[in-house]
Amino acid sequence: MPKRMLIILGLQRGLFDEDAPFRQYVEPPDAIDRVRTAIIKLANSPLIDWDCIVHVSMQQKLQQDQQASKAEEFLIKHHSLKLGTVGAQVHPSLADACPSAVMLTASAGRNAFQGSGLDEFLSTRDMGQIIMVGAALGGMLFATSLSAYLLGYEVGVPSDCLLACSATELEVYLDAVLCSIVQVTHSIDLLGGAA
């Protein structure tokens, strides 16, 4: 059985807190809570023996001539995920639930592999399968998954553990590109069918 690692992208206070201004852009607003709960449940399930849990915090920085999504516009405007700010801190629910989770910080951009040492972290631990959850905003999940795919990792994404501005946005990401390079699934499937 290949070693399995859970990678959580951007589960930070700026995105997931009760009073996070980002909530107003998400349809429906309680989607944030559902995703957060699903991630915490997945991370702590006794049905899965994770070899490691890694949280990668990321900054958003748009390239020139690149169209920004609503979420990106929000992030840029509020700088809520800038390193060192309160919003950039890992959400307490994850920190409490997964005290052993490893924290990595990626360079500015969308790719969790960029500047975070994530690839070295994975390869030195002989990780074969990675499950990615968290923010799918602004191409974060897409860029990260594409690099993971090129690096030869087997990637799975449970759709109920991904945060996008809307169900439509998530559907576009999953259907358009991700389904051909990652295994799109549901957290229930990962838990062996147990709810």
**Residues at the interface with another protein (CB under 8 A):** 63, 66-67, 69, 109-111, 113-114, 119-120, 123, 126, 128, 139, 142-144, 146-153, 166, 168-169, 171-173, 176-177
Neighbours of 88 (CB within 10 A): 20
Q: Which of 41, 76, 193, 54 has the alpha carbon at shortest distance from 122?
A: 54
What's the min distance (Å) between Cβ of 112 and another protein? 10
How far apart, in Å, are the Cα atoms of 138 and each of 40, 63, 73, 75, 94? 22, 12, 9, 10, 22
| Closest CB to another protein among residues 69, 185 | 69
Using DSSP's 3-state secondary structure scheme, residue 72 falls into: helix
What's the min distance (Å) between Cβ of 50 and another protein? 20
| Closest CB to another protein among residues 87, 138 | 138
What's the min distance (Å) between Cβ of 16 and another protein? 22
| Closest CB to another protein among residues 57, 111 | 111
What's the min distance (Å) between Cβ of 99 and another protein? 29
| Closest CB to another protein among residues 95, 177 | 177
Question: Which residues, listed in sequence order, are joined to residue 155 by a DSSP beta bridge?
Answer: 130
H-type helices in the chain, by residue range?
13-16, 31-44, 70-78, 92-97, 118-124, 140-150, 167-173, 179-181, 187-190
